[in-house]
Structure 1
Amino acid sequence: MKTLFIRIITFFNTVRSKIAFYPTLVALGGVITAFGMMIIENEGVSRALVESFPKLLIEDGDTALTIMSACIGGLISMMVFSFSMVMLLLSQASSNFSPRLLPGLISDKTHQIILGLYLGTIMYNIFTLFSIEPTDEKYTLPGLSILFGIFLTILCLCAFIYFIHNISQSIQINNILDTIYDTSKERLNAIIEKEKSKDTSLIENFPDTENWHSYTAPETGYFQNISFSNIQDICEEQKTKLHVTVPQGVFALQHRTFFKSEKELDEETINKIFSNINFARGELIGDNYILAFKQMTEIIVKAMSPGINDPGTAINAIDYITELFALRMKKRDSGILISNDVAFLKMAIVTFRELLYNVMASIRTYCKHDPIIVQKLILMLTYLKEQKGCDASYTEAITTELENLIIDAERSFENEYDIQAIRNLSELN
């Protein structure tokens, strides 16, 4: 039952990121509302309303048809324009920043709900139009349904104004970076919180897994999620420990070892373990905070490319990635999960040294020629070195990257003044 629930949640999270998810739901709501209003109209609501508030309702069938047709045509034009704006936003974000940003922008609920409101109102007005006859008079017209359709159309006009404002904000790099940072920060804090108050002796004494029994993945895809509680139950039932050899968020290949077990497992248990592991064809920051570092790195590299040449954006991204690294330094590199004073699972992770190298290697390659960016990176690394209470290996990794950055910069700079400036800055810090 737990496995089914986890799979339903994962499926919902995946589908929710699709641009058609909320529009489809709201459109379906519009159709249901139209049929609901037809049922209400059969109870004579419009007849009672026209006697009490005659000025609110339309008195002629031809006028009603004209108004509803105009509402439908106008909404279709507005929806086409809005979808065009979304496609333009995605195109600009992909070309100016990074294609990896597209899933996050597509899954923006505000845009989806507004587009869904357009579609739902169109569907409602179309089905309401079916119930109108040109010969209808005010006592036989579905007056309340028509009035509600006009109200929804006015609401769509207000939503369109907000849509233009929101989409102009969404394309701004500061807002994009802020969204990436907030999502990854929430994910990292959740992981760090799970590591608190754990017995470090259990981590240090976790057995060597080199000679354990190996098992391969049944399918390819990004290792997205794992149900730790269910895996724990399986480990207790089989009296074994597991070692997942593929880091979460990394693409898993068939016929390559995916996990190891301390004891040999039967086919049923293996299938049960994989039923609690989800593979996907895409990546989400909510599932893998490493993706945030990748996205910010690509934004920095793209901003410093000759076709873009935008050091201001690169500096903004470095500021955000600095805070993410500082937060990552609070997380241990063990990847060992403990429950009820038992270390039952070891997860392969991207270590801090690997993560820092992957980020800095890309940035150094494409940004080492710019003195301002190099100085900003030196300030970032020295700030990270000043973090207290972190593992000594983290500080060693930062020192190594700082030395590599200075070496690459000195080889790239042609002006002696620039070389001396970064030397002075590194010595000062």
Structure 2
Amino acid sequence: MKDKALVLFRKLYRLKDKIAFYPALLAITGLVFTYLMIYLEERGISEYLLDVFPSLVINNTETARSLLTTFISGLISIMVFSFSMVMILLNQASSNFSPRLLPGLISNRRHQIVLGIYIATILYCIFILVYIEPDSDKYQLPGFAVLFSILFMVSCLAAFIYFIHSISQEIQINNIMDKIFNISKTRMLYLIDNEKYNKDDFAETDSWKAYNSRRSGYLQNVSAEKIAKIAKEKEAKIDIVVIKGLFISEKNTLFKCENELDDETLDRIHEHFDFSKSEFIEDNYVLAFKQITEVAVKAMSPGINDPGTALNAIDYLSQLFSLRIKKKDKSLSYIDDLAYVSMATVDFKDLIFQVMAELRTYCKHDVIIVEKLLTMLLHLKKMIGVENKTYQTIIDEEIDSLISDAEDAITNKRDINFIKSIS
């Protein structure tokens, strides 16, 4: 029961990434407040305030109905205009930068809250309008509730002004890349601070029993700590062979175990694998490398032709790689200093190859971009130090490949000599 409760909690937690989560939450809050105001009106709050603070009460039926009708129609127009701009932003980001950026832009919490404020105010005004009786006198009119509709409308106008400012910032590629970098940096620093790894703590797993995935989709998250507790109960070790963030089909090997597991235990373990049809950097920092690389590649395409953005993207990649070299290529989950779960990760060699392969293919003809890439690689090589021979060799291979591709793509000998002088 405890495992199922945790799984349910994780699923509910994932709802916050949906575009409708915060609007729905605020809409429900608006409805609850509406019925609270109706309850207070039934108890005679407007009649009381009309005698004590008459300036707080709208005591004219036609004025109240006109205000509420105007608010409803105006707010619907504002909402349509606001989120037409969101669609324009998403279309521009997809065509000019990368389609991979869309999940992050759609899940922008601030824009969702603005939409929720609009919807909550519209619902409030509609229900208060319906509550007004055509022939009611000033003591029956929900004047205090109408006053709140004015306050909510002012809040919506403030939210609209904020939204215009926010959307103008969101559409700038530098802000998009900065947001991606900061999220990925936070995730990597967390992993680096909490990782504990000793290569002798986990045996070879080639002969272990393999278990296949029961679902398909992107492996979004794995609760390694919970799986480690199950492994400890069964006095076994588990090796998760699939890299988080990759797409998995059904019947693909998901994990291995040194012992054969019963069906009940397998059900418990499978519950701690979360699959999704989309990817988020908060769960997988590797996605940040992919997104920023695609921004650089798209910027260098003939249709966009924006080398400045590509140079900025390489700067961000350089900072991300500087953090990545501090992380181990393998992740283990411990309980009482014993390793029970091993998780496959994208190692440094594969990660830098995937990034450089794309950039070399589409940017090798540009001398300035090649110079920037060489500077990045040499900076990483210097940070690694001579004691890490493996990483040194990996970077040397990438430098040689980059110079070789540049020699094939660039015909000017002076440019080639300039590139070689850097390395």
The normalised TM-score by structure 1 is 0.95
Aligned to 2:405: 408
Where does the alignment leave 5 or more consecutive residues of structure 2 unmatched? none
- 2:102 aligns with 102
How many Å separate the matches in 1 of 2:294 and 2:252? 29
Q: Which residue, 393, 396, 401 being the options, matches 2:393?
A: 396
Report whether the alignment pairs 1:282 with 2:278.
Answer: yes
Q: CA RMSD in A?
A: 1.5
Q: Which residue of 1 aligns with 2:364?
A: 368
One of 211, 221, 225 as aligned partner of 1:229: 225
**Conserved? CA contact 1:72–1:122, under 8 Å:** yes
Deviations for 1:112-162, whole angstroms, at most 9, x for unmatched residues? 000110010000000000111233232221011000001101110111011
Check whether the contact 2:3–2:268 (CA below 8 A) recurs between aligned residues: no
Displacement after TM superposition at 1:56 (Å): 3.3
Deviates more, 1:369-378 or 1:271-280: 271-280
Task: Please name the residue that 2:3 is paired with.
Answer: 3
**Counterpart in the other structure of 2:48:** 48
Residue 34 in structure 1 maps to residue 34 in structure 2: yes
Moved more, 156-165 or 236-245: 236-245
Q: Distance in 2 between matches of 1:264 and 1:342?
A: 20
CA shift, 1:5, in A, is 4.3
Q: Is the 8 A contact 2:332 2:342 kept in 1?
A: yes
Q: How many residues align?
A: 422
TM-fit CA distance, 1:334: 2.5
Cα pair 1:71 1:153 within 8 Å, conserved:
yes
Q: Give the Å deviation of 1:14.
A: 2.8
Verify: 1:250 aligned to 2:246, yes or no.
yes
SS at structure 2 position matched to 1:386: helix
Instruction: Give the letter aligned to residue 79 of structure 1.
Output: M
**Secondary structure of the corresponding residue to residue 333 of structure 2:** strand
Give 2:75's aligned residue.
Answer: 75
Partner of 1:179: 179
Change (3 A) 1:271 1:55: closer
Partner of 2:111: 111
Q: Note closer, same or farther for the CA distance 1:351–1:221 as it changes in structure 2 (3 Å cut).
A: same
Instruction: Look up the SS of the partner of 2:274 in the other structure.
Output: strand
1:215 equivalenced with 2:214 (yes/no)? no
Deviations along 1:304-325, whole A, 9 cap, x unmatched?
Answer: 1111111111111111111110
How far residue 265 of structure 1 moved from its aligned partner, in angstroms, is: 1.5
Aligned partners of 1:5, 1:375: CA distance in 2, in Å?
Answer: 53
Q: Tell me, yes or no, if the aligned pair for 1:6 and 1:227 is still in contact at 8 Å.
A: no
- CA distance in structure 2 between the partners assigned to 1:205 and 1:43 by the alignment: 70
The alpha-carbon deviation at position 276 of structure 1 amounts to 1.7
- Runs of 4+ aligned structure 1 residues displaced above 6 Å come to none
CA distance in structure 2 between the aligned counterparts of 1:44 and 1:267, rounded to whole angstroms: 63
The amino acid across from 1:52 in the alignment is: V
Alignment pair present for 1:291 and 2:282: no
Partner of 1:323: 319
Partner of 2:420: 423
Contact 1:60 1:136 in 2 (8 A): no
Structure 1 distance, partners of 2:99, 2:162, is 26
Secondary structure at the aligned position of 2:134 is classed as coil
- For 1:93 and 1:258, how far apart are their aligned partners in 2? 34
SS at match of 1:346: strand
Checking the alignment, whether the CA contact within 8 Å between 1:212 and 1:263 is kept in structure 2 is: yes
Match of 1:387 among 359, 383, 394: 383
Cα distance, 1:163 vs. partner?
0.4
One-letter amino acid of the counterpart of residue 172, structure 2:
Q
* Deviates further, 379-388 or 53-62: 53-62
- Aligned match of 1:130: 130
State the match for 2:193 in structure 1. Answer: 193
Offset, 1:219: 1.1
Aligned-partner residue type, residue 148 of structure 1: F
- Quote how far apart the aligned CAs of 1:388 are: 4.1
Q: Could you tell me how far apart the structure 1 residues matched to 2:223 and 2:421 are?
A: 51
Query: Given the superposition, is the C-alpha separation of residues 337 and 400 from structure 1 closer, same or farther in structure 2, using an over 3 Å criterion?
Result: same
Taking the aligned partners of 1:413 and 1:404, their CA distance within structure 2 comes to 14
Q: Percent identical across equivalent pairs?
A: 49
Q: Which amino acid aligns with 1:397?
A: I
**Equivalent-residue separation in structure 1 for 2:373 and 2:142 (angstroms):** 67
Give the equivalent residue in structure 2 for 1:305: 301
